[in-house]
Amino acid sequence: MRYGYFDKKNKEYVVTRPDTPTPWINYIGSGNYGGIVSNTGGGYSFHKDPQNRRVTRYRYNSIPMDRPGRYIYIRNKDTGEYWNPGYQPVLKKIDSYSCRHGMGYTVLTGEYQGVIGEVTYFVPDDKNFEIWHVKLSNIRGVAQKLQVFAYSEFCFWDAIMDQQNVDWVQQINQGRYDDGIITYHPHHITDNAAFFATGEKVSSFDTNLETFIGKYRSESNPIAVEQGGCSNSISRRMNGVGAFCIDADLGPNEEREMVFILGFAEERKEIRQDIKDYLSPNNAKAALVRLKEYWENYIGKLCVDTPDEEMNLFVNVWNQYQCKTTFNWSRFVSLYQLGLGRGMGIRDSAQDSLGVMHTIPSEAKELIIKLLKCQFTDGRAYHLFFPLTGEGGQGDAPVKKYDWYSDDHLWLILAVNAYVKETGDFKFLNEPILYNDKTTSETVMKHLDRALEFTYNNRGPNNIALAGRADWNDTLNLDLGNGVAESVFTSMLFCRAVLEMLELCEYLKNNGFCSEDSAMYKEMSCEGVEPCSKFSDMYQEMRNAINESSWDGEWYKRAFDDYGNPLGSKENEYGKIFINSQSWAILGKVADVEKAEKCMESVDKYLNSKFGIVTMYPSYPEYDETKGGITTFPVGTKENGGIFLHTNPWMMISETLLGNGDKAFEYYSQILPGKRNDDAELYEVEPYVYCQNILGKENPQFGVGRNSWLSGTAAWNMVASSQHILGIRANYDCLIVEPCIPSNWEGFKAKRVFRGATYNIEVQNPNGVNSGIAKITVDGEEVTKIPVFEAGTTHTVIVLMK
Ligand code: IFM
């Protein structure tokens, strides 16, 4: 069954019935103030940090699900009937309903008894507040006496404390009202406040939740709405609400617009001044136009026209949009990750930066700097950090012998290299950055060097990387205290990272960047050993060690446990084969061609399924402490044999590196969320963004998706599709176009903005090949390399495949 459709022209997903199998959400805001809005108006808001600056509440794990939210109630004064444009929370069957999720905004529209209510939620101009623009239309030829109630339930800013220390929180919360502005703050805080405001004439208001709803009622039937007015309550204890009642009588066919503003103020005396330009409906609408322009510009750096409509839709709009959201919020705050405790993941954010590099590289750089500051002086890194304070943390995996994850620091190399290739900003490599001890500072390049050294210095009995608490797979917890468990995946990631360092150093050396007085050069050469040979030796050594210890005949093993036993081997009863040690054998250039092809065949044979490639097979049936978290999941779930989508683009890239464009595209296509639009009853999650996991082929609920939005799937699918299938990627001194496409494509077109210049690219595939280039012309001249052009210029690139 379908619950909606893509409106391609307006770049919106339109939900056409409110009872979606899970809340289908959107994000508003740009990474500072913002929040989540579901297709029925459910969700919550926060300022910079969902743990420490929560603005409104949300009840997870609760039925009725998806409450509370940003609610507009429309009440008919004559009949006393009331309803919501978004259906929740009153659940009145309305005459029509739609939810339009666009980039950075959501519009809920409902119609009931001749009144159309429309509410648009968005954050204007990256401010610390959000606008709810409400439009009421009386489409009947008779006057209607109406009231609008606007409602949001405040949260104590520390969202953990809000649930844990009710005794304290409920004694100190204070709600106040002053001429259209409700403020909410703890008693002892004199500057900050959360607020809810309107420019309309307020008939009545409430700041106390119990008064607005009634102690034994719910958001479905608040006493204030039922009675047709609020009580002007001032909350001196208990729970807070921002609630307004506005009279909105409409003549025949008359319309009325109004604006509500919900936000967080660092200085509460400045709220009125801060919001004054946004309170009028016209100004609010103008801000929405600016927001749409921002997003057009954001996605406009890459635009493709391929024979596959779904690919176009995702590369051009939805995948790019999702990448910005993962870039903003890592794995911190969604309807599945609660914005509590977890913070921004170091490995996650480093990977997320890859998905936005082509469009906002300077913001990516800022994030990368924060990540480098999370590194210890020995090269490893915190597992996560909190955006408000920049403080780091170590995550949840059990600590036995080691307290570090084996992979976090290595991803930084991929992120920095991608940044330099996109921008040509080599100076960045020489910038000093503090370590997390806040006193030692070294260049970016040295930070990366130290990351490699950490893994190199922490190898186990097979001379490959120790596993630590876990690697990319948070749930593979092999360290039991012996300290010998090893990760084949991390070893392969190390190979990839060291090759990227080598590539970078060779470029620097050959292009005069490594002068004797360059700080980074001096810092990196170790006891007189020149960096390029150092990295080349490190790579060879690790590659040999992996091949000697971990080749299993048809695929690579995944790890060795703390007793030295392999995981991901044909000698195992369960967990015989894992996906990541096959794809990364290719990404890390560990496998020779013969082994690489065997790995790919084995993945296709044992792991692939119609909804995507599972992480491993067969799944572990029971808990096993030698493997840890992975065996806490039932068979076919998440890391235990589920389709953990983040891993699938690594397979796509691997196939392209072997020249298999048909297979790469098959893997790409089979997990495109849009392809599940007509199958939403089974899939359950939003068809416009990737989810993190789909229950795998061994699970009785095979095909059900979960944990939508915040997943490395977004960035890596962006990389796989645009940089490897379509083959358009940045390099230090040129743009590369090296497609690996389905053989039945006659070609494709693309526009790519690179360092400010626009490249209009046409790829021609007259002989129906997957890969291989016969000729490239730029502005009519044959070239071997597509040059960097002056910003502001436009160029035509024609790539003729063999
Ligand atoms: O790699 C991790 C990620 O950091 C958080 N979510 C789960 C992934 C796989 O375990």
Q: Are the CB atoms for 209 and 194 separated by under 8 Å? A: no
CB 660 within 8 A of CB 743: no
Q: Which domains does the chain have, with CATH numbers?
A: 4-297 (2.70.98.40), 728-801 (2.60.420.10)
- How many angstroms does the Cα of residue 84 sit away from the middle of ligand 1? 38
Instruction: Establish how many alpha carbons lie within 13 A of residue 462's alpha carbon, considering only the half-sphere containing its beta carbon.
Output: 28
Cβ atoms of residues 358 and 57 within 8 Å: no
Q: Show Cβ contacts of residue 154 under 8 Å, excluding neighbours closer than 6 positions.
A: 55, 56, 57, 173, 175, 184, 194, 209, 239, 240, 241, 242
**Residue 57's pLDDT is what?**
97
Look at residues 100, 744, 422, 10 and name the one whose alpha carbon lies nearest to residue 108: 100
Report the SS3 class of residue 153.
strand
SS3 for 644?
Answer: strand
Task: Please name every residue paired with 747 in a beta bridge, in sequence order, or none if there are none.
Answer: 764
Task: Give the contacts of 764 (CB within 8 A, at least 6 positions apart).
Answer: 746, 747, 798, 799, 800, 801
Tell which atom from ligand 1 comes closest to the C-alpha of 347.
4
Q: Cβ(47)–Cβ(53) under 8 Å?
A: yes
Q: Please report, for residues 352, 651, 676, 790, the alpha-carbon distance to residue 314 in angstroms, rounded to integers and kept in the order given.
A: 17, 19, 13, 29
Of 646, 650, 691, 713, the one to substitute when testing ligand 1's pocket (max ligand atoms within 8 A of C-beta) is 646
Q: How far apart are CA 324 and CA 352, in angstroms?
A: 8
The total number of residues written for the chain in this structure: 802
Distances (CA, A) of 393 to 340, 604, 712: 13, 38, 20
Does ligand 1 come within 6 angstroms of the Cβ of 473?
A: yes
For position 341, what pLDDT does the model report?
84
Burial of 379 (0-12, 13-18, 19+ CB in 10 A): buried
Pick the residue whose CA is nearest to atom 9 on ligand 1.
473
- Give the integer Cα–Cα distance in Å for 555 and 602: 7
Among 732, 766, 773, 734, smallest CA distance to 747 is for: 766
Q: Output the CA 602–ligand 1 centroid distance in Å.
A: 24
Q: Is 472 touching ligand 1 by the criterion CB < 6 Å?
A: yes
Task: Considering only CA atoms, give the Rg of the chain.
Answer: 28
**DSSP calls for 23-52:** --EEEEESSSEEEEEETTSB--EEES-TTT
Indicate the average pLDDT of the chain: 96
In sequence order, the 6+-apart residues with CB closer than 8 A to the CB of 229 are: 203, 204, 245
Query: Do 364 and 407 touch, CB atoms closer than 8 A?
Result: no
**Chain segment 573-598, per-residue pLDDT in tens:** 999 999 999 999 999 999 999 999 99
Token representation of residue 388: 């408000």
For ligand 1, the distance from its centroid to the CA atom of residue 685, given in whole angstroms, is 19
Contact predicate 246/165, CB 8 Å: no
User: pLDDT tier at 518 (50, 70, 90 boundaries)?
Assistant: low
374 within 8 A of 435, measured Cβ to Cβ = no
CA angle (500 as vertex; 494, 505 as ends), nearest 5:
125
Cα of 610 vs centre of ligand 1, distance in Å, is 23
pLDDT at 527: 52
User: Residue 574 in contact with residue 618, Cβ under 8 Å?
Assistant: yes
Give how far Cα 298 sits from Cα of 30, 104, 320, 375, Å. 12, 12, 8, 30
Query: Is 348 close to ligand 1, i.e. is its CB under 6 Å away?
Result: yes
* Residue of 473, 489, 615, 690 with the most ligand 1 atoms within 8 Å of its CB, for mutation: 473
Mean pLDDT calculated for residue range 448-467: 98
562 is a catalytic site residue: no
pLDDT at 524: 61
Beta-carbon contacts of 163 under 8 Å, excluding residues fewer than 6 positions away, are: none
Q: Which pLDDT belongs to residue 531?
A: 87
State the distance from the centre of ligand 1 to the C-alpha of 638, rounded, in angstroms. 10
What are the tens digits of pLDDT across the range 252-300? Answer: 999 999 999 999 999 999 999 999 999 999 999 999 999 999 999 999 9
Structure tokens given for 308: 């596959």
Whether residue 460 has pLDDT greater than 80: yes
Which residue has its alpha carbon closest to ligand 1 atom 1? 472
Q: Which atom of ligand 1 is nearest to the CA of 644?
A: 9
pLDDT > 60? residue 569: yes
Predicted local confidence at residue 427, as pLDDT: 93
Q: Select from 120, 134, 6 the least CA-distant residue to 73.
A: 134
Residues 6+ apart with CB under 8 A from 376: 382, 435, 436, 437
Helix (H, G, I), strand (E, B) or coil at 338: strand
Contact 129, 262 (CB under 8 A): yes
Nearby residues of 126 by Cβ (< 8 Å), 6 or more positions away:
29, 30, 32, 33
Pocket test for ligand 1, best of 333, 334, 344, 348 (most atoms within 8 A of CB): 348
pLDDT confidence of residue 517: 62
Among residues 545, 538, 470, the alpha carbon closest in space to that of 498 is found at 538
pLDDT value at position 329? Answer: 96
Alpha-helical regions (H) of 117-215? 159-164, 166-172, 209-213
User: Half-sphere exposure (CA, 13 Å, Cβ side) for 396?
Assistant: 11
How does residue 509 score in pLDDT terms, banded at 50, 70 and 90? confident
Element (H, E) at 492: helix 488-510
Q: Which atom of ligand 1 is nearest to the CA of 470?
A: 10
pLDDT at residue 430, as a whole number: 92
Q: Report whether 306 contacts 690 (CB < 8 A).
A: no
Of all residues in the chain, what percent carry a pLDDT higher than 90? 95
In angstroms, what is the span from residue 646 Cα to ligand 1's centroid?
9
639 ligand 1 Cβ < 6 A: yes
**Stated pTM of the model:** 0.97
Residues 334/708, Cβ–Cβ less than 8 Å: yes
Q: Is the CB of 345 under 6 A from ligand 1?
A: yes
Q: What is the pLDDT of residues 62-96, one digit of tens each?
A: 999 999 999 999 999 999 999 999 999 999 999 99
Pairing verdict, β 786-787 and 734-737: antiparallel
Q: Which of 471, 474, 479, 552 is catalytic?
A: 474
Query: What does the alpha-carbon distance between residue 534 and residue 515 come to, in Å, rounded to a whole number?
Result: 18
DSSP 365-431: HHHHHHHHTTB-TTS-B-SEE-TTT--EE--SSPPSS--SBSSGGGHHHHHHHHHHHHH--GGGGG-
**Is 415 in contact with 354 (CB distance < 8 Å)?**
yes
606 Cα–ligand 1 center, Å:
22
pLDDT of 629 > 70? The answer is yes
Report whether 314 contacts 674 (CB < 8 A): yes
CA of 567 to the centre of ligand 1 (A): 19
Q: Which pair of tokens denotes residue 587?
A: 């990404």
For residues 42 and 86, what is the distance between their CA atoms, to the nearest angstrom?
Answer: 9
Would you state the pLDDT for residue 184? 97
Q: Residue 523 pLDDT > 60, yes or no?
A: yes
Longest dimension (CA), the chain: 89
Closest C-alpha residue for ligand 1 atom 4:
348
In sign, the C-alpha dihedral spanning 612, 613, 617, 619 is negative
Query: How does residue 391 score in pLDDT terms, banded at 50, 70 and 90?
Result: confident
Residue bearing the CA closest to ligand 1, atom 7: 474
Give residue 372's pLDDT: 98
User: Residue 519 has what pLDDT?
Assistant: 67
The residue-averaged pLDDT of 684-712 equals 98
Q: Give whole-number Cα distances, 577 to 76, 271, 464, 547, 792, in Å.
A: 63, 58, 19, 16, 50
Residue 477 carries which DSSP code? Answer: -
State in Å, rounded, how far the first CA of the chain is from the last one: 43
Gap between the Cα atoms of 311 and 302, Å rounded: 13
Whether 35 has a pLDDT exceeding 90, the answer reads yes
Ligand 1 proximity of 331 Cβ (cutoff 6 Å): yes
Identify the band that residue 522 occupies on the pLDDT scale cut at 50, 70 and 90.
Answer: low
Structural contact between residues 202 and 244, judged by C-beta atoms closer than 8 angstroms: yes
Give the mutation target among 330, 331, 614, 648 for probing the ligand 1 site: most ligand atoms within 8 A of CB.
Answer: 331
- 385: which 2 tokens? 């950090």
| CA 189 to ligand 1 centroid distance, Å | 37
How far is it, in rounded angstroms, from Cα 766 to Cα 801?
7
Burial bucket for residue 430 (CB in 10 Å: 0-12, 13-18, 19+)? middle
347 lines ligand 1 (CB under 6 A): yes
The answer to whether 81 touches 114, Cβ cutoff 8 Å, is no
Q: Is the pLDDT of residue 170 over 60?
A: yes
**Residue 475 near ligand 1, beta carbon < 6 Å:** yes
Half-sphere exposure of 378 (CA within 13 A, CB side): 9
Give the atom of ligand 1 at the shortest distance from the alpha carbon of 345: 4
- Ligand 1 atom index nearest CA of 711: 6
Mean pLDDT value of segment 527-546: 89
Q: Which atom of ligand 1 is nearest to the CA of 474?
A: 10
Closest CA to 77 of 149, 11, 24: 149
